Amino acid sequence: MVGVRWVAFVALVGCGAVCGAQGNDGLREAAIKNCGVAPVVARDSQTNIFSEQQEMWLGQVEADVLESQIRPVRDAALQDRLQRITDRLLATLPATGLKFRVTMVDAEDINGFSLAGGHVYILRKLAATAKNDDELAGVIGHELGHILSHQFAFETTREMRRLLNVSSVSDEEDIRKKFELMLDAEYHDKHPESHETDQEQAEADHIGLYVMSAAGYRPQAYADFWDRSFFVGGKTGSRLGDFFGTTKPSQKRLRSIDAMVAAVPADCGKGISPDEAGFAAWHDAVVANQAGAEKVRSAALAEVTLTPPLRMELAQLKFSPNGKEILAQDASSIFVIDREPLAVRFRIDADGALPANFSPDSQSVTFSTPGLHTEQWSVAEKKLKEAHELLLKDDCYDTRLSPDGRTLVCVQVNLDAEEIELALLDTTNSQVVWEKKGWERNWYMMGALLFSQEFDNTRQFFPSSYSSDGNVLLFGPAGDKVALDLRQRSVIKTGGAIRDAISGEYAFVGNDKVAGEKYFDPKSSGIYSFPDGRLLNKVWIPPTALKSVTSSGTDVHVLALGLKDYAIGIEDLTHQNFAMTLKTAGLDEYDGAIVGEATGGAVVLGRLGGTKTEQTHVALPLSPLPFSPRVALSGDGRYLALSVSRRGGVWDVKTGKQLAALHGFTDAVWSNDGVLFADFPKDGNEERHLAQVSIDKLVQTVLPFKLTDETHMRYGRLTDWKQDEKKKLWTVSMYDPATQKVTWSRVFPDRYFSYTSSYGSRDLIFNFDMGTHTAKDALKANAALSVELQAVKNKKAARLIRVLDGTTGGDVGELVVELPPNYAGIDGLNRAGDLLYVLGVDDRTAVYAMSTGKQVRDLIGYLRAVDTDTGKIFTANRIGECFVYDSSGKELAHYEMGSPIRFAAFGAGASTVTVLTADERLRTMSVDAAKVPAAAK
């Protein structure tokens, strides 16, 4: 889904409900002759303070804010087809000074939108559901209609006048400042105005149908696309329905479009010979959605790749049904591995994919995403066989893809009927092939389901299990579980015990047995025959998540996840014990052969009860780093410590070679003499502890310092919080990790509150509500703070920001600010010299002067590094794009990394910056603007 961070922004700039390269004089002349004058003249009643040049500047400012929240499709060929359609549409119109750019965005909505000055965005799911170039031309034409009728300029003119009393703009910087002030004012606006009207949509439709018809595209295609994509069903309502309010807005819109199509002159435009083969190939590539090449422009002084790379933990390991292949999956990749000899066969890019499966015949790997995109890959040919995009009227809140890739199980919430519905969908055409209305009628379950998907849309909410052959899915909780035949797409009748006796987790054992837990009496759990539900054996199943093993031979084995001190184990239900346990999430069995994950991330193949000498290992290729790894760079820039989950290590920055492998740590800091101190969490029987790692000697020593939730390492500092309940005081103490002795302490007359550390680890930044004792005492002691508070309009948003020197605990400065309405949270505070940087959720960072409390400017981008001595800052904006600014806001350097940025730090004197990207490359770049290619804006 498109991120909620920019939904309000898109509404402001005028997203259409599906929301110029000039030339070709002959086409333009024919358009005028056969279609009449283009309907793109602005209405005289509208006031517009923007010239066309200023409108393009406005569009660039809007794009800078928006494009940090979206990911453009990188395949140039996919973009080119949209641009060629756009150019042909524009060629039918009078010349304009606007410059048009169409961008395909990798997002899961069926939508398109546009910005001022010529920016058009087509979401990939929309492109994937289009049936021909004519439909694409209709959508693009509609978005051009918004731009060519200057709706964005009119809207922004109205808003700037209404909210800011602004009646003129000048250069790009002036437009940027006023636009950002307008966004802030929009957040505070108690009486917001609608930024989209039926009239504006009709105007965009009118222009869009003109240009597509004049360019030779079928106007009816736009009506067809609207009808299909918004599930109107050809219904257009009536005037009587309009009067009684029974006509839906989508039906009225279709009626309007139909009328416009009927009014297109018969001779308008000459039909284009359909490029069916070209469109089909392009469409297949859009649906396949394979990663394209990223642009790199870094002028790196040095570049290395971490070797070996730090691997994320595997989420699952699975044998194929024939036992010849192994599937390994982490958060962004799926690997197919040959079993004999053990070797990686190929990797599938699958960021955010739900759990993958082998097909029943072992010939394919199938998976789906929360956005209802499905893929099927050939094991033998090592390539994508099929990809599909499902188009549904209502959201699926939980899904399972059949292992053969043909059928999607979809859970939907019907709030009107107060029920949860279950359906089977054909992945090739999105048609419902079976459904059960009123499957669950439980408000608590509905609320939990909605909450779960809102905060983790990759989690599969309901319990489920596939039979070993992949042809049957048992799905759902307790008495509402359903057995689904995925070949016949029908329900299998099951005995009552399957439905009622199993009240907790369950897993297939082969094809004809199910191991199931009695939630409130796990010792009375059992193994039941399937589908009749006869109790075969009474067994003890611990309260844990269950999964099937691919094949357990003559014994009854299942996987138990979430065991105490272990992540996963093979439970032998025949002998009532655990055959083996591991501290990772990936494990499977095939007739006594087991596959698991080694401590360092390699895949290990062995046998139950076998020795280590019988095991074989294979290292997996690189999988991109997750969003927030734990990173610590030594002060001299020589060593990089990096950790994800249970796995970490130290690498030489100059060579990229790993110097030490470590358990995963939650925080770490380097001493001046090159010793790493790290907070290691509890892992199995090993308690949480503080350890020092000497890289020169390759020695790790556990230190005698007890770590707890109150006494821990945070932001690279060993910190302890103690509360005096009688005096109602909190004392924070900082320790030297080398000696474990207190270096400084401060007392606060308030509860345990929010604080963060500025990038560079020099400052601690505290955030106090103005009602706290600390804030009240500060106002009494410092009259300047009271003046700053008086200047705050929204007192509820006022905060006392206090900056302490993290080394000594001494005061650096304090100010009262009105937190911006887009405030991202406490971790978004940074200080460099006299400037305080406050991050917003919409990629804008507000800059305040510590000395006056006044906001001095906004900048676009998220801070990722700060140099407190020089005041230079490093920001990340679009995917892989980053900038360096000086303390005045002047841009010093602009880089493109080609991969998302995970960490950055300035070198001595801030003359260089070292950047770690998701592809585990370390680049050190000059901050000298003369050494960096000019930014291509």
CA pseudo-torsion sign 464, 624, 662, 604 = positive
Q: Are 729 and 721 in contact (CB under 8 A)?
A: no
Q: Are 734 and 744 in contact (CB under 8 A)?
A: yes
Q: Which alpha helices (DSSP H) does 160-247 contain, by range?
A: 172-188, 198-214, 220-229, 239-244
Has residue 375 got a pLDDT over 70?
A: yes
Has residue 266 got a pLDDT over 60?
A: yes
Question: Which of 548, 551, 549 lies closest to 591 in space, CA to CA?
Answer: 551
Determine the Cα–Cα distance for residues 187 and 298; give it in Å rounded to an integer. 36
Phi, psi dihedral angles at 295 (to 5 degrees) = -80, 135
The tokens describing 871, both together, are: 């005041």
Determine the Cα–Cα distance for residues 569 and 768; give it in Å rounded to an integer. 47
| Residue in the structure block whose two tokens are 């809007």 | 62
The three-state secondary structure class of 629 is coil
Has residue 934 got a pLDDT over 70?
A: no
pLDDT score at 671: 92
Judge residue 767's burial from the number of C-beta atoms within 10 Å of its C-beta, 0-12 exposed, 13-18 middle, 19 or more buried. buried
Determine the Cα–Cα distance for residues 162 and 144; give it in Å rounded to an integer. 26
pLDDT band at 908 (very low <50, low <70, confident <90, very high): confident
Q: In what order do the strands lie in the sheet with 373-378?
A: 357-358, 364-368, 373-378, 383-389
Where in 416-488 does DSSP place strands (E)? 419-426, 432-440, 464-466, 472-475, 482-485
Has residue 180 got a pLDDT over 60?
A: yes
**What is the 3-class SS of 332-350, one letter each residue?**
CEEEEEECCCCEEEEEEEC
Judge residue 820's burial from the number of C-beta atoms within 10 Å of its C-beta, 0-12 exposed, 13-18 middle, 19 or more buried. buried
pLDDT score at 485: 97
The tokens describing 156, both together, are: 């922004």
pLDDT score at 43: 55
Inter-CA distances, 849 with 779, 819, 834, Å: 18, 14, 6
Predicted confidence (pLDDT) per residue in 507-563, tens digit: 999 999 999 999 888 888 999 999 999 999 999 887 788 899 999 877 888 888 877
Q: Are 714 and 731 in contact (CB under 8 A)?
A: no
Determine the Cα–Cα distance for residues 286 and 307; give it in Å rounded to an integer. 34
Name the percent of the chain lying above pLDDT 90: 55
Inter-CA distances, 461 with 254, 410, 412, 477, 791, Å: 37, 12, 12, 10, 49
Has residue 125 got a pLDDT over 80?
A: yes
pLDDT score at 382: 96
Has residue 140 got a pLDDT over 50?
A: yes
DSSP letter at 586?
-
Has residue 45 got a pLDDT over 70?
A: no
Determine the Cα–Cα distance for residues 490 and 424; give it in Å rounded to an integer. 9
The three-state secondary structure class of 65 is helix
Q: Are 96 and 52 in contact (CB under 8 A)?
A: yes
Predicted confidence (pLDDT) per residue in 578-605, tens digit: 888 888 889 999 999 999 999 888 999 9
The tokens describing 637, both together, are: 């820039």
Determine the Cα–Cα distance for residues 445 and 438; give it in Å rounded to an integer. 13
Question: Which of 240, 242, 237 lies closest to 258 in space, CA to CA?
Answer: 237
pLDDT score at 195: 63
Which pTM does this prediction carry?
0.87
Chain centroid to Cα 770, Å, comes to 34
